[in-house]
Amino acid sequence: MTDSPAAPDAPEENENGARPRSGQPNTPPAPAPAAPGAAFADGMAAAARRAGFASAAEGEPISGQTLLASMGGIRGLVEAVLPGLVFLVIYTLTRDLVLSLIAPVAVGLVFVAFRLAAKQTLSQAIGGLVGIGISAVLALFTGKAEDFYLPGFWTNGVYGFVLLVSALIGWPLIGLAVGFLMGEGIAWRTNPSKRRVLTILTLCWAGLFAARLIVQLPLYYSGNVEALGAMKLLMGLPLYAPLLVVSWLMVRSIYPKQSEPSEPE
């Protein structure tokens, strides 16, 4: 006598306890979309990392190496400084606007090519190339060398204004960025010490952007390209780096590094 065929396995129940209909695959439910608040928190934390606050939040010692790393390393410094320096030197020596504009664009393209060859991220190089391209087009369109620096005034004005307003209304942007980076969200607003320090930091950064405009705009309107280019370089990284160190110290004063957990005996 032959064995009777085995009964087919019963379909598995899904997460809600219901069995799928015949012919329908038992697929898992689609993941829920990320909440807008989570996306905002991730964006602010990423902004804090790009600004160099990650090292301070992680309790790393302040050194030349960590400072350099927060500014993109040697390559990041070169990419930030060299195009403007090339424009200034060539224009000062030749007074040839077209040649002076072609040179920094070519330098930006070289930076992108180097990163492609090294299989590194292109965001910083492409961002710099786009900025250089916009500056070059403006100067070429108006025929004025000083307009090469015009986009910098726009960015400094917008950054300074937004930072100042955020501090005045009690929601300093540096506080939001650092708070989400540290994983506490906006809880720092209930701590008077943290709120005061982060507000002061936000005002300091707003002051940096305002100082650039106060010094450089008169040079722009007077058409003094050489002095404008020199001040642009001097008020860039030489001011950014010390303020970043001060920011590290202030952030670490209100977010001390937690001690490592002790090993079990």
pTM score = 0.75
Q: Specify the pLDDT at position 183.
A: 83
For the chain, percent of residues with pLDDT exceeding 90 = 52
Count the Cβ atoms, other than its own, within 10 Å of residue 202. 25
More confident residue, 1 or 251: 251
218: tokens are: 């008169």
Q: Predicted confidence band at 124 (pLDDT cuts at 50, 70, 90)?
A: confident
**Distance, CA of 15 to CA of 1 (rounded, Å):** 42
List the alpha helices (DSSP H) in the chain. 36-50, 53-57, 64-70, 73-94, 97-117, 123-142, 150-168, 173-181, 192-222, 225-234, 237-254
pLDDT in tens, 214-243: 999 999 999 999 999 999 999 998 999 889
Q: Predicted confidence band at 119 (pLDDT cuts at 50, 70, 90)?
A: confident
Q: Are 126 and 108 in contact (CB under 8 A)?
A: no
Q: Predicted confidence band at 43 (pLDDT cuts at 50, 70, 90)?
A: low
| Weakest mean pLDDT among 56-60, 160-164, 223-227, 248-252 | 56-60
| Weakest mean pLDDT among 29-33, 36-40, 62-66 | 29-33
**Domain spans of the chain, in order of start:** 39-70+149-255, 72-143
Residue of 105, 97, 168 lying closest to 139 (CA atoms): 97
Q: Specify the pLDDT at position 61.
A: 56
Q: Are 40 and 161 in contact (CB under 8 A)?
A: no
Question: Amino acid letter at 152?
Answer: G
**Distance, CA of 121 to CA of 225 (rounded, Å):** 33
Q: Specify the pLDDT at position 259.
A: 39
Q: Are 202 and 234 in contact (CB under 8 A)?
A: no
**Distance, CA of 36 to CA of 30 (rounded, Å):** 18
Core vs surface per residue 30-57: b (16+ CB within 10 A) or e? eeeeeeeeeeebeebbebbeebbbbbbb
262: tokens are: 């002790």
Q: Are 129 and 105 in contact (CB under 8 A)?
A: yes
User: Mean pLDDT over residues 1-8, rounded?
Assistant: 47
Count the Cβ atoms, other than its own, within 10 Å of residue 76. 17
Q: Are 100 and 94 in contact (CB under 8 A)?
A: yes
Q: Specify the pLDDT at position 264.
A: 43
Q: Are 229 and 248 in contact (CB under 8 A)?
A: no
**Is the confidence at residue 30, as pLDDT, over 70?**
no
**Distance, CA of 5 to CA of 174 (rounded, Å):** 71
Q: Are 202 and 173 in contact (CB under 8 A)?
A: yes
**Distance, CA of 218 to CA of 221 (rounded, Å):** 5
